[in-house]
Amino acid sequence: MSLELKAVQVRLSEEAYNALSMIADVNDQDLGEAARIILTESLLGKSHSVKVTAARFARATKSGSER
């Protein structure tokens, strides 16, 4: 079973491109696969942080009678 993947195009600074190239080489991956993995990990981690922060904020702003 394969996941449906959405296409995204990004532009990287030379420093970021070189870092991606090094990571891809070390992991024996092509640039696209390495970028997909890194971007997915980063996005999922950041979205989790946003969800946790939003939930904490929602709990903190409820009045005593709403809890």
As a whole number, the mean pLDDT across the chain is 92
Range of the domain at 42: 14-60
8 within domain boundaries: no
18 found inside a domain: yes
**Is residue 46 in a domain?**
yes
User: How far apart are the C-alpha atoms of 8 and 30, rounded to whole Å?
Assistant: 16
Q: Per the domain annotation, does 50 fall within a domain?
A: yes
Task: Identify the pLDDT of residue 3.
Answer: 82
What pLDDT shows up at residue 26?
98
* Helix, strand, coil percent content, the chain, rounded in steps of 5: 65, 0, 35
Residue 7 lies in a domain: no
The pTM (predicted TM-score) of the whole model is 0.75
Segment 12-52, tens digit of pLDDT: 999 999 999 999 999 999 999 999 999 999 999 999 999 99
Number of domains the chain contains? 1
Asked, for residue 6, whether it belongs to a domain, the answer is no
Does residue 5 sit within a domain?
Answer: no
